[in-house]
């Protein structure tokens, strides 16, 4: 066996694989994103074991029943489950959080609106949507989550 | 070798096969598994292991599809694995599920196969470009259609088979698919239509080929003791076989699939079958192209070398014939979401054995049925035989 | 039992529904770059092509000459033994005529492709290449004798494309 130390000594083939995809979000995903576009946040509900799922699913991963019920996610139920800060090459430092909702399975990734106050886990937040005309039916239609004092 | 314990098929489910489905891969998997659980009359809590089968990640555009699909496969917090043997995956998946139960490790195992080919642009065929050798094949612009056309031509040349004889398979399967509720391309066409369809890579023409599709299919396997709690007359897994030939595909004589003969013999031995032509009552053989049905009948010893076109001409492989082949409508008629297409064949044999095939039910009495799939670089075959007492 | 398999789930979507925004779509593209080492056997194979020669490896146990070469015999499962030059003539094992490209789009001119069994290695051994100087597609036959047409020496790069195509002889 020879260890490769220099590319010039051995034969090398260079090539690239360009890939293009056009994805659709699925039965639950499409409805979820269409609702986001309208500024609404809904979870799908399992009527068997009473779990709420966000992002919504058409099936309960546990009891495996079909989910047809959807419910508004209570606005005052959101809290920061965990967070980190990201420094991109350009632009200011950003706070990224996994936001969970009381009584809901799962959660959403989003930006935290920066403030002088350092965020903390468990901090109550609420989603702030982009202007209606700017929404595209993507998770980024939630511009950021901001701290609230209930 | 210790004798494996007996394994039964207790349920089957499949989604519609279409060019593009709204459901994501997970959702398609869920729908197929949910239907299979319902048809068995059991719940996920009764299931202790799950095997998922799916072909190249490049179609769905999701890397590591196994983990992506698991929740929809019913595998949440269960022993779970994904198997992959190219196009042969769909029939290999229930074989992997069979090990789980036959070994005594599992009582009830879900086998589910999914494929969502629609995201890849501009056409799913593009995904195959990167399967060829990057040092001396890709430079030529090699495509999957090339190698199938080369195989088809070799098969025709060795036996003196005409394109018209091969086209009969497309006519039969697309017609059979008219009775399949999931079918994507059912049609009443003639040999002339196939011959006049646009040449893609001669001798392969548009109507010789199955379409790209989205879809999922599933079966549930269980121990004999578990199955007997559900039904007095369970369907048994009688034989499993799988085999692979060299990846140096240009070294092989492409006119005959030796690896399939080997896989078939492995399954026949387990099933105690000495004369497949007499003992197999119905078969779903892999037909992504019309010539493949003939090629595979010969590899499976259901026809002598070069004899399959003649059997087709004589109507023996029709639903009302002596040896019905692809009563479902096959990949040519029902569609070809790669792994799910192979599993669709397993489902069809299960439906045939349990008398649930409706208008597709073959005329002759069915005790033993066979499903087969084929893949990788025209080199892999998986064979699954089921039987009712 | 059969009532359980009457309903088959799934919802088809049309391209119209995607274009109109009735169904949301998300387009992504990526370009993956690779640098593959051609390995021990194929590196030599490509270097020899640059010299206008085709080389194989011989397994002395089964007596097969393997082209393209490999450092192991997949059957005997042992290291192959020696380098052997083979001829640049051969026969067409099988062929086809491509009208569509890698992305299934139509080609302007059809391409003739073939598996060539080169003379010298064990019977049936060969590789994929183009056929050229074909006047009519009807003249192509399985079993037809062919010979490699090489690029001029200064244009060769150590690639399978150093052979332009195989022509009938």
List per-block mean pLDDT (blocks of 10 residues) for chain B, which spans 389 residues: 88 97 96 97 97 92 94 97 96 98 98 96 83 89 92 97 98 98 98 97 96 97 98 96 95 95 98 98 98 98 98 98 98 98 98 96 97 95 96
In the numeric block, the tokens 């001409």 are attached to: B313
Query: Given 3.40.250.10, 3.30.450.20, 3.40.50.720, 3.40.47.10, which CATH number is that of B7-121+211-388?
Result: 3.40.47.10
The answer to whether the beta carbons of residues B251 and B270 sit under 8 Å apart is no
Interacting residues of C157 by C-beta distance below 8 A, sequence separation 6+: C50
Can you give the residue ranges of every domain in chain B?
Answer: 7-121+211-388
Looking at per-residue confidence, does C93 or A114 come out higher?
C93
Per-residue model confidence (pLDDT) at position C121: 74
Question: Which regions of B67-167 does DSSP assign to beta strands (E)?
Answer: 80-83, 108-116, 120-121
Q: Degrees (nearest 5) of the Cα angle B195, B201, B206?
A: 45
CB contact under 8 A, B200 and C99: yes
Residue A51 domain-assigned (yes or no): yes
Q: Is C24 within the bounds of a domain?
A: no
- Are the CB atoms for B119 and A21 separated by under 8 Å? yes
What pLDDT shows up at residue C103?
A: 74
**Could you list the residue range(s) of the whole structural domain that residue C106 is in?**
39-168
Q: Are C66 and C74 in contact, with CB atoms under 8 Å apart?
A: no
Helix (H) or strand (E) holding A82: strand A78-86
Residue of B20, B24, B121 with shortest CB distance to A29: B24
Query: Which of A17, A30, A59 lies closest to B22 in CB terms?
Result: A30
Q: How confident is the model at residue C4 (pLDDT cuts 50, 70, 90)?
A: low
Can you give the pLDDT at residue A51?
94
Whether B65 contacts B57, CB under 8 Å: yes
**pLDDT in the model for residue A1:** 52
- Contact of C128 with chain B, judged by CB distance below 8 Å, is answered with yes
Q: Is C157 on the interface with A (CB under 8 A)?
A: no
How far is it, in rounded angstroms, from Cα B228 to Cα B218? Answer: 20
| A23/C31 touch (CB, cutoff 8 Å), yes or no | no
Tokens (6 digits) for B241:
């076989």
Asked if C114 is an interface residue toward chain B (Cβ–Cβ < 8 A), one would say yes
Across C89-110, average pLDDT: 90
d(CA C120, CA C116): 12
Q: Rounded to whole angstroms, how far apart are CA atoms B124 and B211?
A: 10
pLDDT at A61: 93
Interchain proximity B43–A63, CB inside 8 Å: yes
Q: Point out the residue among C11, C36, C37 whose CB comes nearest to the CB of A27.
A: C11
| CA separation for the pair B329, B172 (Å, rounded) | 8
Would residue C26 count as lying in a domain?
A: no
Cis amide prior to C55 (ω within 30 degrees) = no
Residues 24-83 of B with CB under 8 A from A: 24, 26-27, 30, 33-34, 37, 43-45, 58, 61, 71-72, 74, 76
Query: CA geometry: angle at C149 spanning C146 and C150, to 5°?
Result: 145
Dihedral Cα A66, A68, A74, A79, nearest 10 deg = 30
Q: Contact, B34 vs B220, CB < 8 A?
A: no
Contact B140/A at CB under 8 A: no
pLDDT digits (tens, 9 = 90+) for B65-112: 999 999 999 999 999 999 999 999 999 999 999 999 999 999 999 999
Q: Inter-chain contact C113–B150, Cβ cutoff 8 Å?
A: yes
pLDDT digits (tens, 9 = 90+) for A43-80: 999 999 999 999 999 999 999 999 999 999 998 999 99
Whole-number average pLDDT of chain A: 91
Q: For residue B326, give the 3-state DSSP assignment.
A: coil
Which residues pair with residue A99 across a beta bridge? A80, A108
- Quick one: pLDDT band at residue A5, thresholds 50, 70, 90? low
pLDDT of residue C1: 43
Number of domains comprising chain A: 1
The number of distinct structural domains making up chain C is 1
Give B-chain residues touching A68 at CB under 8 angstroms. Answer: none
C28 within some domain: no
Contact B355, B369 (CB under 8 A): no
pLDDT of residue B389: 80
Contact B61 A13 (CB under 8 A): no
**Facing residue for C24 by CB, picked from A19, A20, A25:** A25
For the packed helices B290-299 and B163-176, what is the interaxial angle rounded to 10 degrees?
100
Give chain C's mean pLDDT. 92
pLDDT at residue C3 greater than cutoff 60: no
Cβ-based contacts of C94 with chain B (< 8 Å): 150-151, 153-154, 157, 254
Task: Output phi, psi for C122, to 5 deg.
Answer: -55, 145
Q: Which positions in chain B touch C97 (Cβ < 8 Å)?
A: 149, 199, 201-202
**Minimum-distance CB partner of A27 among B23, B37, B130:** B23
For residue C43, list chain A residues with Cβ-Cβ distance below 8 A: 10-11
How far is Cα A66 from Cα A48, in angstroms, rounded to an integer? 9
Within 8 A of C113 by CB-CB distance, chain B residues are: 140, 146, 150, 201
Residue-number span of the structural domain to which A49 is assigned:
26-147
pLDDT average, residue stretch C144-157: 97
Q: Which pLDDT score is estimated for B69?
A: 97
Calpha distance A32→B127 (Å, rounded): 30
- Residue of C11, C26, C33, C43 to mutate when probing chain A, most A C-beta within 10 A: C26
DSSP at C126 = -
Beta bridge partners of B387: B236, B368
Distance CA B190, CA B206 (A): 14
State the Cα–Cα distance between residues B343 and B371, nearest whole angstrom.
Answer: 9
pLDDT of residue A4: 54
Q: Residue B197 gets which letter from DSSP?
A: S
């Amino acid at each position: 066996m020879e260890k490769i130390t220099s590319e010039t000594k051995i034969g090398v083939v260079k090539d690239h694989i360009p890939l293009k995809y056009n994805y659709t979000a699925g039965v639950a995903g499409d409805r979820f994103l269409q609702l986001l576009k309208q500024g609404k946040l809904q979870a799908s509900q399992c009527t068997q074991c009473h779990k709420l799922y966000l992002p919504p699913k058409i099936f309960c991963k546990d009891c495996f029943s079909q989910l047809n019920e959807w419910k508004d996610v209570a606005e005052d139920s959101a809290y920061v489950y965990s967070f980190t800060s990201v420094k991109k090459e350009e632009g200011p430092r950003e706070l990224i959080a996994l936001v969970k909702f009381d009584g809901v399975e799962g959660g959403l990734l989003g930006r935290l609106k920066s403030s002088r106050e350092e965020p903390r886990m468990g901090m109550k937040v609420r989603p702030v949507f982009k202007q209606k005309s700017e929404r595209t039916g993507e998770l980024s239609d939630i511009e950021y989550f901001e701290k609230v004092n209930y | 070798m210790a004798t494996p314990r007996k394994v039964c098929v207790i349920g089957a489910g499949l989604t519609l096969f279409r060019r593009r489905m709204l459901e994501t891969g997970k959702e398609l998997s869920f729908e197929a598994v949910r239907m299979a659980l319902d048809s068995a009359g059991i719940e996920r809590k009764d299931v202790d292991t799950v095997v998922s089968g799916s072909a190249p990640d490049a179609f769905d555009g999701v890397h590591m599809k196994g983990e992506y699909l698991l929740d929809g496969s019913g595998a949440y917090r269960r022993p779970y694995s994904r198997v992959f043997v190219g196009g042969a995956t769909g029939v290999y998946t229930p074989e992997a599920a069979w090990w789980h139960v036959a070994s005594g490790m599992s009582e009830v195992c879900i086998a589910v196969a999914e494929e969502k080919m629609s995201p890849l642009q501009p056409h799913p065929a593009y995904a195959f470009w990167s399967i060829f050798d990057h040092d001396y094949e890709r430079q030529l612009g090699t495509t999957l259609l090339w190698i199938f056309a080369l195989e088809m031509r070799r098969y025709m040349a060795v036996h003196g088979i005409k394109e018209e004889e091969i086209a009969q398979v497309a006519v039969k399967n697309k017609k059979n698919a008219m009775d399949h509720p999931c079918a994507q391309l059912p049609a009443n066409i003639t040999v002339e239509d196939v011959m006049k369809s646009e040449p893609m890579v001669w001798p392969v023409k548009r109507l010789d080929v199955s379409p790209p599709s989205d879809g999922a299919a599933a079966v549930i396997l269980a121990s004999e003791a578990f199955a007997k709690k559900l039904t007095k007359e369970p369907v048994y897994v009688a034989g499993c076989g799988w085999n692979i030939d060299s990846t140096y595909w240009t070294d092989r004589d492409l006119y005959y699939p030796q690896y399939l003969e080997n896989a078939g013999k492995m399954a026949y031995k387990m099933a105690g079958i000495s004369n497949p032509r007499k003992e197999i009552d119905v078969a779903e053989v892999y037909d992504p192209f019309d010539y493949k049905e003939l090629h595979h009948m010969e590899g499976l010893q259901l026809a002598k070398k070069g004899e399959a076109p003649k059997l087709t001409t004589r109507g023996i492989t029709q639903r009302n014939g002596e040896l019905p082949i692809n009563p479902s409508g096959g990949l040519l008629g029902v569609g070809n979401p790669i792994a799910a297409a192979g599993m669709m064949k397993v489902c069809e044999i299960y439906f045939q054995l349990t008398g649930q095939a409706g208008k597709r039910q073959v005329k002759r009495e069915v005790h033993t049925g066979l499903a087969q799939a084929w893949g990788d670089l025209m080199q892999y075959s998986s064979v699954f035989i089921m039987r009712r007492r | 039992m059969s009532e359980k398999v009457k309903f088959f789930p799934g919802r088809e979507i049309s391209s119209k529904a995607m274009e109109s925004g009735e169904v949301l779509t998300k387009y992504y593209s990526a370009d993956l770059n690779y640098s593959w080492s051609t390995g021990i056997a194929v590196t030599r194979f490509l270097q020899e092509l640059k010299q206008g020669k085709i080389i194989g490896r011989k397994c002395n146990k089964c007596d097969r000459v393997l082209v393209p070469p490999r450092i192991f015999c997949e059957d005997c499962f042992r290291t192959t033994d020696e380098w052997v030059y083979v001829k640049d003539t051969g026969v067409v094992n099988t062929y086809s005529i491509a009208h569509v490209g890698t992305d299934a789009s139509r080609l302007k001119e059809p391409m003739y492709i073939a598996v060539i069994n080169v003379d010298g290695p064990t019977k049936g051994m060969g590789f994929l290449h183009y056929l050229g100087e074909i006047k009519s597609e009807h003249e192509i036959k399985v079993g037809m004798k062919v010979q490699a047409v090489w690029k001029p020496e200064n244009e060769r790069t150590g690639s399978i494309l150093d052979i332009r195509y195989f022509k009938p002889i």
